[in-house]
Amino acid sequence: MSRLEARPEPSRAMMLASPLIAACAMLASGSLLFMFLGQQPLHAFYVYFIEPVSTLYGIGELLLKATPLILCGVVLGNGFRANVHNIGADGQLTMGAIAAGCVALYFDDVQAGWLLPLMLVAGALGGMAWAAIPALLRTRFNTSEILVSLMLVYVAYLYLGYLVHGPLRDPAGYNFPQSKMFIDAAVLPLLLDGLRVNAAFLLSLLVVAGAWFFCRHTFAGYRMQVSGMAPAAALYAGFSAPKNVWIAFMISGALAGIAGVGEVAGPLGQLQPTVSNGYGFAAIIVAYVGRLHPVGVLLASLLMSLLYIGGETAQIELQLPSAITGLFQGLLLFYLLAADLFIHYRFKRRVHPVPLAAANLASAGKLPQ
């Protein structure tokens, strides 16, 4: 008989392996799901996971979709470690997109080089401003930042809806709820002709490097790590929890805002009723699957991006519902959380111990056996 027993110390091997195990389990479930939907599992597997990245254009799409995930997810992990949960990244992304969109539409007759950087700054500020609300309410009023940041996501969505239906609607747009298309100077440069991936991806790589540096080599990052791992020790050392909250929210808000700019100044090219494909929420999964480490987040973003574009490809080629993507994402996180169990626990064969005294008495013939 075996039972779960706590490990003397967390297993490093499992820490690296559990995301891989989770990914494999998700793929296996996916194959079962494909079979259930009447598809040939291997063929569907190929169409979903391999075919989308078998062309250069496909790889471009992979990097394009991964960009907002990387930007949103890379600092989320830092925050989660310090028990600061920014669940509202999608709202900050939306507000950043709105801010950048407003800048682009205001300067819509200026073909100048400073327009894009200004949009990026505006987007970052927009995201930061939106993230400041949950940070303030948590530090001043002890309010759960999970609920506040989440509520603000819905508010941001509605605000964008209001803008594209009303004040920012394109007068020549046949009454469609969308803004004017941005001028060329307001659109991010493409990395390669023919691909849709743009400079935002390079930016996200820089951010990964920066986040790694921040975690490992700055005192602020160190404080956040300790606050999460040993809150009492952190308190004793004088690490201020409010400071952690502010740093986590400001940085992740700014990055989410930039991700928003990447969307509207990139593939979208205008403000639309929705600018995010749930990237802020997928980024949460990415943060966990990436083990809350910047490089892990980069890899997990690529996986998650593959799920997105695989879903689109499968929808076109196999008529599989696009909702499968959300299903896979949820499954991935479930499996990861389950696999994480084995970091701290392991199966061990249990042999029932016999009390020493009874054993002695029994062997001396004094107790019936």
Partner 1 sequence: MNPDYVIAFLASTAGSATPLVMAAMGELVTERAGVMNLGIEGMMLVGAVVGFMVTLSTGSISLGLLAAMLAGMGMALIFGFLVLTLQTNQVATGLALTLFGLGLSAFLGRALVGQTVAPMPHLSLPMLSNLPFVGPLLFRFDAMVYGSVLLALLVSVLLAKSRIGLVIRAVGESPHSAHAIGMHVVALRYGAVLFGGAMAGLGGAYLSLALTPMWVEGMTAGRGWIALALVVFATWKPRGVMFGAYLFGGVTVLQFHGQGFGLAVPSEFLSMLPYLATIVVLVIICRNPQTILLNKPMSLGHNFKAD
Q: Is 169 in the site for partner 1 (CB under 8 A)?
A: no
Q: Is 162 in the site for partner 1 (CB under 8 A)?
A: yes
Tokens of 166: 């009303």
Q: Is 285 in the site for partner 1 (CB under 8 A)?
A: yes
Q: Judge contact between 66 and 301, C-beta under 8 A.
A: yes
In whole angstroms, the minimum distance from the beta carbon of 6 to partner 1 comes to: 8
Tokens of 141: 């009023």
In whole angstroms, the minimum distance from the beta carbon of 184 to partner 1 comes to: 31
x/- map, 98-137, partner 1, by CB under 8 A? ---------------------------------------x
Q: Is 321 in the site for partner 1 (CB under 8 A)?
A: yes
In this chain, which of 338, 359, 361, 367 binds partner 1, going by CB under 8 A? 338
Q: Is 180 in the site for partner 1 (CB under 8 A)?
A: no
Q: Is 85 in the site for partner 1 (CB under 8 A)?
A: yes
Q: Is 333 in the site for partner 1 (CB under 8 A)?
A: yes
Q: Judge contact between 103 and 119, C-beta under 8 A.
A: yes
Q: Which residues contact 178 (CB under 8 A, 6 or more apart)?
A: 164, 169, 170, 270, 271, 272, 273
Q: Which one-letter amino acid corresponds to residue 197?
A: V
How far is residue 73's CA from residue 328's CA, in Å, rounded to a whole number? 18
In the chain, the N- to C-terminal Cα span, in Å, equals 23
From 140-148, 201-209, 214-222, 355-363, give the range in contact with partner 1 by CB under 8 A.
140-148
Q: Is 346 in the site for partner 1 (CB under 8 A)?
A: no
Q: Is 87 in the site for partner 1 (CB under 8 A)?
A: yes
Q: Is 32 in the site for partner 1 (CB under 8 A)?
A: no
Residue 190 pairs in a beta bridge with 198
Q: Judge contact between 292 and 77, C-beta under 8 A.
A: yes
Tokens of 341: 């169990």
In this chain, which of 41, 58, 161, 210 binds partner 1, going by CB under 8 A? 161
Q: Please give the size of the binding site for partner 1, defined by CB under 8 A.
A: 44
- Here the contacts of 112-118 (C-beta below 8 Å, separation 24 or greater) are 112/185, 113/185, 115/185, 115/186, 116/185, 116/186, 116/187, 116/188, 116/265
From 70-78, 148-156, 201-209, 214-222, give the range in contact with partner 1 by CB under 8 A.
148-156
- The answer to whether the Cα torsion of 119, 123, 125, 129 is positive or negative is positive
Of residues 265 through 284, those in contact with partner 1 by CB under 8 A are 281, 284
Of residues 63 through 82, those in contact with partner 1 by CB under 8 A are 80
In whole angstroms, the minimum distance from the beta carbon of 50 to partner 1 comes to: 22
φ, ψ dihedrals at 284, nearest 5° = -65, -45
Q: Judge contact between 27 and 49, C-beta under 8 A.
A: yes
From 162-170, 192-200, 202-210, 296-304, give the range in contact with partner 1 by CB under 8 A.
162-170
In this chain, which of 27, 59, 118, 151 binds partner 1, going by CB under 8 A? 151
Kindly tell me which of 14 and 203 has the beta carbon lying closer to partner 1. 14
Q: Is 319 in the site for partner 1 (CB under 8 A)?
A: no
The 3-state DSSP class for residue 347 equals: strand
The residue to which tokens 């805002």 are assigned: 257
Compute, in degrees rounded to 10, the torsion defined by CA atoms 352, 357, 359, 360. Answer: 160
Residues of this chain that interact with partner 1 (CB under 8 A) are: 80, 85, 87, 137, 141-144, 146-148, 150-152, 154-155, 158-159, 161-162, 165-166, 281, 284-285, 288, 321, 323-331, 333-334, 337-338, 340-341, 344-345
